[in-house]
Amino acid sequence: MKFPGARLPLGCIAVFLVCFSPNVLGQNARMTGMVPKSTTRAPIDATKIQPYTNGMILQLHPTASMSTGASSLFIGNAATTATGGTIFGLNTVPTFSGAFAPENSPNAGQTFPFIMLGKDPTAGGTTTIPAKATEVSWQLLNADGSVFMNVPFTTTFDDVFTDSPNFANALIYDSSPTAATQFADAVQRAEFFNVTKSTWHTKLGGPTIVNKVTIQVPYFVNVQTSNGVVQARSYFTGTASDGSTFVLMLNVLFNQLFDNQVVNDINAGNFTTNALNMEWYPNTFLFSLNQNNPNTPGGCCVLGFHTYFLDGAIPQDRWLMVYASYISPGIFGGGFQDVTGLSHEISETFNDPFVNNPTPSWEFPGQPSGSTVCQANLETGDPVEVLSTATVAISLTEGTKTLTFHPQTEALLQWFEMGATSNAVDGAFSYPDETAITAPAKPCGT
C-alpha cells in the first residue's frame, strides 16, 4: 500500500529515556548526572503522516503511556495470516499468546494476557523474523541554512550493530545450552525454559541494510504550545570521549522525521509487515521542549523506542518499528554504550510487539517504600535500566577482530508475575545477569 504525502526528499528538510542537568549549552553540549528512565510511543497510523516542511508547526503531545487494553487485538490462534502471524485480522509478524495471574498484588486473581514474537514455546521449532534496517545520517544546518556539520552513521557503527549479539548466533547461554543463539532469543528462552521444547527459538534473520539516507535538520523549528507557537532550537551537539559527535534532538522534530522516513521505506518496499524494521542513528538522543526557554533542552535523553505502524486495510497491516542509536562510550553511566539501546528495544519488541501487554502496576527497583514511580506494562528493559549496572559485557571474535558489546539485562516475565519464586531458568527474575534483580516486582505504592 502506498501512503501519499509522506515523502521526505533527500536534503530537504519515545522509549528509552535518560535525564540530565545540562551546563550552559551552546553549539557544543555537555551532559552530566545521567539517570536512565523510560517512555513509550503509541502506535502510528501510517496513512496520516504528513511530510516535514520548513516552517511546519510541530504539535506537542503528552508522553504516551502503555495502553492496558486489548480491544484492538484478537488474541488467540484462530487463524494465520499470509505472513505467518497467529492473530486473526492482522497481517504482521508471527506471534503466540498466553496469560498469567499475579500472586502478590492488588490484582491477585486477575488474568493478564500477553502476545509475544514467535511460535508457541511448547510447540518447538525455530521462527526466523527478517531484520531490516535503514541507516540515517544527519546534515545539521545553521540558522541561515548553511551546513554546520555532517554526522554520519559510520562503517564502525554499522559493524558494531550488525556483528553484535543481537544478530550473531555466537554464544551458548545457559538458557540455550545445546545451541548457540542470539541475545533476545536467549532472554525469551530463559522466561519459558521450564515449559519449552529444546528446539524452540525465535531469531532475527540478517540484518539487511535496506536503505542509507542523509536527512537535513534545521536549526530552529516552530512548536505549538498551550501558550502559542514558539520558535525552538532543534538540536545541540557535543563530543564523546572517542571523538564522535553526539546529537541532542528535539523529540517532536525527530518523531516527524522518523515517521516520514518509515513511510518512505514502507512505500519503497524496504520495510515489510513480516519483519522487525529498524532505523539506526549515530549517537542521537532526544530531548523534550523546554517551554520556559526553548533555546535550551528540556528533559533528556531518549535513546530508543519501539512501536508499530498500521493502516486501514483488512486484514490490518502492522509494521514493527524500532528506533535505536549507537552509543559512544562515556556519554552515559550504567554501562550504557554501543548496542545497549538496540538490545533493549529488540528484547522489548520480542516480549511486547504491539506495545499493549498489561501487567499489575509495579515499582521501579530501588525506590523507597510507598513509591509511586511505577509502570503497568510488560516492558522488560525498563525495570533494569535504572540500576547502577544495567548491562553485561559480551565479547565476540570474528577472524582476528574481537569486539566487546554491552547489551542490557532484561527483567523476565516472572518478575512481573510477582510470585515468591520464579520458574525461569535457574529460578531467575532477570537475564542474562541473574544477580541484577533477585526478587519479584513490588506492587506500586508498597
- Is the CB of residue 410 less than 8 Å from the CB of residue 347? yes
**Confidence band for 23, pLDDT divided at 50, 70 and 90:** very low
The cell for 95 is 506471534
pLDDT at 55: 81
CA gap 138, 111 in Å, rounded = 46
Residue ranges of alpha helices (H) inside 112-200 are: 155-162, 183-191
**Confidence band for 414, pLDDT divided at 50, 70 and 90:** very high
**Confidence band for 38, pLDDT divided at 50, 70 and 90:** low
Residue 73 within a domain: no
> What is the crossing angle of helices 340-351 and 183-191, to 10°?
40
pLDDT at 69: 27
Residue 392 within a domain: no
Question: For the residues of 234-301, what is the DSSP string, one character each?
Answer: -EEEEE-TTS-EEEEEEHHHHHHHHHHHHHHHHHTTSS-TTSEEEEEEESEEEE---TT-TTS--SEE
Model pLDDT for residues 183-222, shown as the tens digit of each residue? 999 999 999 999 999 999 999 999 999 999 999 999 999 9
List the Cα angle 181/187/188 in 5-degree steps.
95
Of 107, 119, 18, the residue nearest 68 (C-alpha): 107
Of 283, 152, 136, the residue nearest 213 (C-alpha): 136
Residue 26 has pLDDT above 90, yes or no: no
- Residue 384: what are its φ and ψ, rounded to 5°? -90, -30
Model pLDDT for residues 335-353, shown as the tens digit of each residue? 899 999 999 999 999 999 9
Can you give the C-alpha Rg of the chain in angstroms?
21
Residue 440 within a domain: no
CA gap 232, 221 in Å, rounded = 5
Residue with cell 534473520: 205
Residue 74 within a domain: no
CA gap 193, 20 in Å, rounded = 38
Residue 279 within a domain: yes
Model pLDDT for residues 349-394, shown as the tens digit of each residue? 999 999 999 999 999 998 888 888 899 999 999 999 989 899 999 9
As a whole number, the mean pLDDT across the chain is 86
Model pLDDT for residues 61-106, shown as the tens digit of each residue? 644 333 222 222 222 222 233 344 568 899 999 999 999 999 887 8
Residue 413 within a domain: no
Segment 140-152 mean pLDDT: 97
CA gap 115, 86 in Å, rounded = 10
From residue 434, give the alpha-carbon distance in Å to each of 82, 188, 278, 406, 409: 39, 14, 28, 16, 9
| pTM (2 d.p.) | 0.89
pLDDT at 164: 97
- Give me the number of domains the chain comprises: 1
Residue 106 within a domain: no
pLDDT at 2: 52
List the domain range (segments joined by +) for residue 170.
16-65+86-94+114-357
Beta strands in 191-244 (DSSP E): 201-217, 220-225, 228-233, 235-239
Burial profile 123-139: b = 16 or more Cβ within 10 angstroms, e = fewer: eeeebebbbbbbbbbbb
Residue 156 within a domain: yes
CA gap 442, 93 in Å, rounded = 33
pLDDT at 358: 95
Q: Would you give the DSSP letter of residue 64?
A: B
| Contacts of residue 49, Cβ cutoff 8 Å, sequence gap at least 6 | 3, 5, 6, 259, 260, 262, 263
| Dihedral of the alpha carbons of 69, 130, 48, 59, in degrees to the nearest 10 | 80
